[in-house]
């Protein structure tokens, strides 16, 4: 299936963020990609094109404080970037080719954290979180760049319950299908964070958990990048396209048990 790229601007508050809309010719599910802190939409364009070619409308965006708005990196807050994500979601579902009841959100690290919270304020049917970050609810209006100064490393090594964190609370309320991907040797998102997310998704319709062996947080080697792309494409084919082609409701999928971990991660 052929696709078409369209560069768009998304209004947020009194500013605009850049996006690339990748569309097929028919009405299909929509997929929103949210990059991590310090990243950009460029990291997801190739994967978005592959998923769009399967039959989805995909939207990648540059969150404020990144790419063309990097000058705002020292001042942008989590609230600002959540509004970016919400406005991007609304732009995606407003596209005439998108089935508004078939939306997937794919987030990495900080983008995974935002994706989880987004699912509590907008309808999301499928959720992919790669090495999702976790932050304290306190200091919500503090610039994101400053959060690491407030005991964040220690917080991420502890047990956090859904009633103590808005992102985990959103996960606890989520009833769709979930893919969580961990890097085996992640020195930024330690395994306890992944455990907190896995424990929170008890009400999810299905939960798939995979570990990319040997990988670091950023997937700095091509083989790790390819492994993640393969996991994402396979999951998207099974969950998103399978449901669309079969006309199936979310409640008919087989529950997928998390994969066992292989070896401890490198300590953060």
- The pLDDT value given to residue 22: 87
**Mean pLDDT, consecutive 10-residue segments, the chain of 268 residues?**
81 93 80 89 89 91 86 90 96 93 95 98 97 95 85 92 98 97 96 98 96 97 96 90 54 38 34
Report the C-alpha gap between 220 and 18 in whole angstroms. Answer: 25
Domain ranges of the chain: 4-252
> Which is it for strands 98-108 and 126-130: parallel, antiparallel or unpaired?
parallel
- Give the C-alpha separation, 178 to 248, whole Å: 17
pLDDT at 250: 39
- Burial of 30: CB neighbours in 10 Å, binned 0-12, 13-18, 19+: buried
What's the confidence (pLDDT) of residue 67?
76
List the one residue out of 29, 30, 198 whose CA is nearest residue 112. 198
pLDDT score at 258: 42
pLDDT of residue 256: 40
Q: Tell me, which fold does domain 4-252 have in CATH?
A: Rossmann fold (3.40.50)
- The predicted pLDDT at position 221 comes to 96
For residue 208, report the phi and psi dihedrals to the nearest 5 degrees.
-110, 125
> CB-based contacts of 8: which residues, under 8 Å, 6+ apart?
18, 19, 20, 21, 91
């Amino acid at each position: 299936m052929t696709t078409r790229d369209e560069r768009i601007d998304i209004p947020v508050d009194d500013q605009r963020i850049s996006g690339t809309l990748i569309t097929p010719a028919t009405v299909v599910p929509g997929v929103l990609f949210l990059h991590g802190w310090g990243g950009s939409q460029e990291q997801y364009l190739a994967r978005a094109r592959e998923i769009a070619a399967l039959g989805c409308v995909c939207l990648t965006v540059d969150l404020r404080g990144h790419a063309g708005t990097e000058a705002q990196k020292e001042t942008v807050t989590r609230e600002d970037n959540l509004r970016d994500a919400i406005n991007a979601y609304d732009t995606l579902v407003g596209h005439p080719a998108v089935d508004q009841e078939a939306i997937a959100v794919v987030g990495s690290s900080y983008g995974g954290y935002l994706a989880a919270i987004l699912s509590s304020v907008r309808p999301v049917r499928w959720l992919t979180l790669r090495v999702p970050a976790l932050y304290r609810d306190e200091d919500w209006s503090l610039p994101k760049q400053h959060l690491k100064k407030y005991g964040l490393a220690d917080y991420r090594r502890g047990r956090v319950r859904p009633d103590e964190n808005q992102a985990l609370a959103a996960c606890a309320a989520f009833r769709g299908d979930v893919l969580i991907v961990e890097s085996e040797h992640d020195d930024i998102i330690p395994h306890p964070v992944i455990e907190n997310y896995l424990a929170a998704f008890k009400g999810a319709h299905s939960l798939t958990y995979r570990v990319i062996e040997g990988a670091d947080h950023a997937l700095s080697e091509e083989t790790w990048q390819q492994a993640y792309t393969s996991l994402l494409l396979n999951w998207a084919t099974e969950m998103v396209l399978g449901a669309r082609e079969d006309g199936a409701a979310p409640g008919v999928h087989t529950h997928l048990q998390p994969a066992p971990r292989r070896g401890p991660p490198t300590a953060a």
